[in-house]
Amino acid sequence: MIRLDRVSKTFPGQTTPAVAELSFDIDEGEIVVLVGPSGCGKTTTLKMINRLVEATSGTISVAGTDITSVPAPVLRQGIGYVIQRIGLFPHRTIAENIATVPALLGWEKDRINQRVDELIVLVGLTPEMKTRYPAELSGGQQQRVGVARALAADPPVLLMDEPFGAVDPIVRGRLQEELLDLQRRVHKTIVFVTHDIDEAIKLGDRVAILNVGGILEQYASPAEILRSPANRFVEEFLGEDRSLKRLSLTPISDVDLVAGPIVEPTATRGDVEATMKEHGVDWVGVGTDGRLHGWVWGEDVTGTAGDLEPRPFSVRLSADRSLREALDSVVSSHTGVAIVDDGDRYLGMLSIEEISRHLIE
Smallest distance, Å, CB 196 to ligand ATP? 10
Which of 149, 172, 195, 202 touches ligand ATP (CB under 6 A)? 195
Q: Which stretch binds ligand ATP (CB under 6 A): 32-40, 114-122, 145-153, 339-347?
A: 32-40
Cβ closest to ligand ATP, residue 57 vs residue 332: 57
User: In this structure, are residues 351 and 259 in contact, taking their beta carbons and an 8 Å threshold?
Assistant: no
Cβ closest to ligand ATP, residue 43 vs residue 248: 43
Site string for ligand ATP, 55-84 (x = CB under 6 A): -----------------------------x
Closest CA to 208 of 3, 35, 61: 35
Cβ closest to ligand ATP, residue 14 vs residue 69: 14
Is 236 exposed, middle or buried, given 0-12, 13-18 or 19+ CB atoms closer than 10 A?
exposed
Site string for ligand ATP, 79-98 (x = CB under 6 A): -----x--------------
Closest CA to 292 of 341, 250, 248, 253: 341
Which of 14, 15, 69, 126 touches ligand ATP (CB under 6 A)? 14
> How far, in Å, CA of 5 to CA of 7, rounded?
5
Kindly list the residues in this chain that would bind Mg ion in the complex (CB under 5 A).
Answer: 43
15 binds ligand ATP (CB under 6 A): no
Smallest distance, Å, CB 40 to ligand ATP? 4
Cβ closest to ligand ATP, residue 36 vs residue 287: 36
Q: Which residues make up the interface to ligand ATP (CB under 6 A)?
A: 11, 14, 18, 38-44, 84, 195
